[in-house]
Amino acid sequence: MKIGYVFSNLLMGGIQSFFTEIAVSFNESKEVKYTLLDDKLADPILTKRIDNIERVSKEELLNWSDIINFDGIINNSDKQFFKPKWKNTLEYLGSARSYSIFERIFKPNLSPNIIACSKFVSESLKVSNQVIYNGKDTNWYKPINLEKKYDVAIIGRMRPIKNHKLFLDICELGNFSFVTIGGTHRRLEGHINDIEKMCRAKARPGIDHVPGFVSDREVVKLINQSRIGLLLTTGPEGGPAGAEFMSCGVPLIVRDTGGSAELHEELQELVVPYNAPPDIYVGKIKKYMNDQELPKRARDTILQKYSRDKTISQFDDLYNNILIKSKK
C-alpha cells in the first residue's frame, strides 16, 4: 500500500504533530511519501521527525499514492488538486472549527472518507460518525523514575486558547512550583508574547519556562518531573489533549470543554466545570498531587483506550476499506 500524506504546513501543533507521528509509524511497514504545501510554515522538530520519509511534489504524490491522507486543515482550493483520486482521499477532523456553517450544510469538497478526532467533533460537525483518537506511543511516553521537581505542568503554544493566564493564576494562588512547556510562534504577536514574558518573569528555582520547540525527549523528562498536568483550554478542544501526561503516569486535570474530558470517562474526579474559578483547581491539585493510585489509573486508561498501537490499527483498517471501496 502506498500512502501519501498532504501537510498544509509543519507548524508545531496537535494535529501536525499527530500526523507526522502517524506517517513515521506507517513508514515502518508501508510505502510512504509526503508533500508540504507551504515551505515557509515549517518548524524544525516536525521537519526532523519525518526526515526519513521522502518528500515529493503534490503532482508526484497524486500520481503515486493509493491513499491520500489530508492533515485536517487543508483548504478547499488545495483539495481541488486531488480530485482525480477523490475516492482515495481521507480527511481527519481535528477541531470543531474545521468547517464553516456553509461547508457543513452544503458539504463542498469534503472527502468521501472523513473521521473525527473525538465524539465531540463528530457530533458538532455532523459530517462523520467514525472517531479515531490521537493515541500516544506508550513505549515513548512512559513513567520514568525521576525526582518530582514541579507540582504542576502545562504544555502548549502561547496562544490565548491554551489559557496560560489561568494557569499562572492557579499556581500563584496555590503557591505551586510549576513548569510551562512551549513558546510563542514567530508569527504570533501582541498579548501572546506578553504571556510568554509573564512566564519568563516568574522563572526562578522550582518555577521554569521551557520555550520554543521542545524535543520529545525533553517533554517526557519534564512530564515525569511533574506531579499534575493541567489542560485549561478556553475554546472547544477538538480531541482529548494532554494524553502525554497520562501515558507517563501523571494525572491530568482538565477543564470541561469540547472533547477535553473524553479521556476522563473513568476519571471524572479530574474534570473541572468550564466556569470554575482558580480556587477549585487549587483544591483538586492539592487533593490529588500526591495520590498513590491515580498515576496507575491514568496510565492504564491510555494503554487500554488511547494507545498509538490502537490508533495505527484503526487507520490501517480504514485505509484498506477505502482501497476496497475505490475499486468497486
Residue 230: enclosing H or E segment and its boundaries? strand 226-231
List, for residues 291-324, the tens digit of each pLDDT value: 999 999 999 999 998 899 999 999 999 999 999 9
Gap between the Cα atoms of 48 and 127, Å rounded: 34
What is residue 84's DSSP assignment? G
Which grid coordinates are listed for 314? Answer: 484503526
DSSP assigned state of 106: H
- Give tens-digit pLDDT for 251-297: 999 999 878 888 888 889 999 999 999 999 999 999 999 999 999 99
Q: Percentage of residues in the chain with pLDDT exceeding 70?
A: 87
Residue-wise pLDDT for 78-93, tens only, equals 888 999 999 999 988 8
CA 59 – CA 82 distance, rounded (Å): 9
Q: Quick one: which of 74, 83, 25 has its CA closest to 49?
A: 25
String of DSSP letters for 7-59 = ES-B-SSHHHHHHHHHHHHHHTTSEEEEEES-TTSB-HHHHHHTTTSEE--HH
pTM of the model: 0.85
Residues carrying CATH 3.40.50.2000, the chain = 2-135+307-326, 150-305
pLDDT score of 3: 97
The architecture that CATH gives domain 150-305 is 3-Layer(aba) Sandwich (3.40)
pLDDT for 106 equals 46
CATH number assigned to the domain covering 2-135+307-326 = 3.40.50.2000
User: Over the stretch 144-178, which tens digit does the pLDDT of each residue have?
Assistant: 999 999 999 998 877 777 888 899 999 999 999 99
In terms of pLDDT, which residue wins out, 118 or 248? Answer: 248
Indicate the average pLDDT of the chain. Answer: 86
Distances (CA, A) of 148 to 57, 138, 140: 47, 20, 19
* Mean pLDDT confidence for 67-82: 85
